[in-house]
Amino acid sequence: MEETKVLTQRIRPDRSPVWIDDYMDLGGYEALKTALADYGPTEVGPLIKEAGLRGRGGAGFPTGVKWSFMPRFEDRPDERPAHVYLVVNADEMEPGTFKDRLIMEGDPHQLIEGMIIASYAIGADTAYVFLRGEYTECRRRLQQAIDEAHEKGFLGENILDSGFSLNLHLHMSAGRYICGEESALLSALEGRRAVPRHKPPFPAASGLFGQPTTVNNVETICNVPHIVKNGAEWYKSLGLNKDGGTKLFGASGHVAKPGLAEFPLGVKLGDVLEHFGGIRNGRKLKGLLPGGGSTPFLTPDHLDTPMDYDGVGAVGSRLGTATMIVFDDQTPIVGVLKNLEHFYAQESCGWCTPCRDGLPWVEKMLVNLEAGKGQPGDIELLDLHVKLLGPGKTFCAHAPGAMGPLEAGLKYYRDELSALIPDDASNLSRTQAANANPL
C-alpha cells in the first residue's frame, strides 16, 4: 500500500530541516492565519472534535474532548488565572518509538504552527515543548524555528494583529520514562521529582504550577494545522474505518527495512510489514509489539488486523505509538520479555509498592528462566504478577503497561516459557514436597 503523506509531506529525503521561508512557500502558517481570522477562540476546539482527532502519544484519547475540559474566561476575564498552559510531550522514551523525532528535526515549524493554533483554541498564553534530553539535534532545530517564528510575528505579543499572544519555550527533560505520564511530566517541568500526581484534580483544573493545562503529544498537535486548513470531513475521509486521519507507523527489529512511513489509520498490519520489507533474511514472523514496548504482542494470526484504535483493541492489544518492534521465528521470547521488564523495572519512579517491588521480581524470574534456573510455579507466579500489577492496582499506568507484553507472552508463548523449567527442578520440587509431608 502506498503512503499517504500529510504530516510527512515536507520531510526531505536527506532529512534536512524545512526552515520558515520554505515552510511558508509550501503553505505553512496559512492554517494559523485562517484560525485567527475565521474562527473565534472557542470555535477551533469543536472543529478538532468533529474531525475525530485522537491522541497520537499512545492513549488515543479524543483531542477535542480533552481541550473541552479547559476552563474558559472570555466572559469573565477578571477570573482568568495568571497563566494558562499548553505543554507538548516530546519526551519520546517509549521503547521502539522514534516518530516524533522525524517531525521535529525535519519539519519543526509544523509543530510550532500546531502549538500556536492549539494554544489559541484552549486559551493558553504560554506553551512548552518538553523535549527528551538526548534529542540534541531536535533542540537545535526547534530553537532556531522558534526564533524564526518570533521574527515573522507568529509568536509573541498580538500575533498577526489578532489580539492573541503566546510565548513558547523549549525545556529539556532530565530523563526517565515516567515523564511520559502527563502529571509526572508536569512535576518534572516544575523542577520537582518526576512522580505521578493524584487525580483529581486533573491538569485542566490544576496542572503546571497549579494553573489550567493541556498536555498533548507532538504528532497529535501536528495534525491540527491540516484540520484547520482542510476541514473536518477531509480529515475523516483519510481514515479507512472509524478513525480519521493518517498515522506515522514505524518498524524496528527483525524487518528488512526498518524505518517510518505514514499510512491512513486502518491499514492492515500485513501491509505495513510488507512496506518495511517483511521479515529479514527470509525468516518468518514470530510476533511483534504493535505500538512500542508497552503494548501486548500480536502474532502471525493477526496480519489482517486493521491498524487503528478499535481494530488493534479488538484483538487484545493497543495501537499505542504504532511503532512496532518485530521478532523473527529464531527469537527466544524469554529474552524479549526479560529485556522489556528490565527496562520497566529500572524506569519505575518507585512511588507505589506494586510497581517498585513487583517489576524487579518479574525481571528476576525471567532472568532465572533464561538461565535455566526456573522453578515449578514460576509461570503461575508470573500470571499472578500480571493481575497484581494490572490496571487499577498501581498509582499510574507504568506497571500495567509493563504487564501488557508479559500477559500476551504468557498467552501466546506459554509452552515455550514452561519448557525452560528444567526437569530436574520439577523432580526436586516433588521430592521436597514428599519429604515435607509425612502423610
Report pLDDT for 424. Answer: 65
Report pLDDT for 437. Answer: 45
E strand intervals along 1-125: 85-90
User: Which three cell numbers, joined as nine digits, stand for 192?
Assistant: 520537582
Q: Residues 164-182: pLDDT tens digits?
A: 999 999 999 987 899 988 9
DSSP 389: T
Contacts of 180 (CB under 8 A, 6+ apart): 57, 58, 89, 91, 93, 94
Give the span between the Cα atoms of 100 and 109, in whole angstroms. 13
Report pLDDT for 77. Answer: 86
Helix (H) or strand (E) holding 365: helix 353-370
Report pLDDT for 198. Answer: 87
Cα separation values, 427 from 353, 415, 438, Å: 34, 19, 18
DSSP string, 44-64: HHHHHHHHT-B-SSSS--BHH
Q: Could you say which of 1.10.490.10, 3.30.110.40, 2.40.50.100, 1.20.1440.230 is the CATH number of the domain covering 333-423?
A: 1.20.1440.230
Residue ranges of the chain with per-residue pLDDT less than 50: 427-439
Give the span between the Cα atoms of 51 and 68, in whole angstroms. 14
Give the span between the Cα atoms of 409 and 411, in whole angstroms. 5
CATH topology of domain 20-238: Rossmann fold (3.40.50)
Report pLDDT for 426. Answer: 53
CATH topology of domain 246-328: Ubiquitin-like (UB roll) (3.10.20)
Cell 505579543 belongs to 157
Measuring CA to CA, which residue among 439, 31, 16 is closest to residue 225? 31
The distance of Cα 385 from the centroid of its chain, to the nearest Å, equals: 24
Whether the full predicted model's pTM is greater than 0.85, yes or no, is yes
Q: Residues 114-151: pLDDT tens digits?
A: 999 999 999 999 999 999 999 999 999 999 999 999 99
Q: Delimit the domains of the chain by residue range.
A: 20-238, 246-328, 333-423
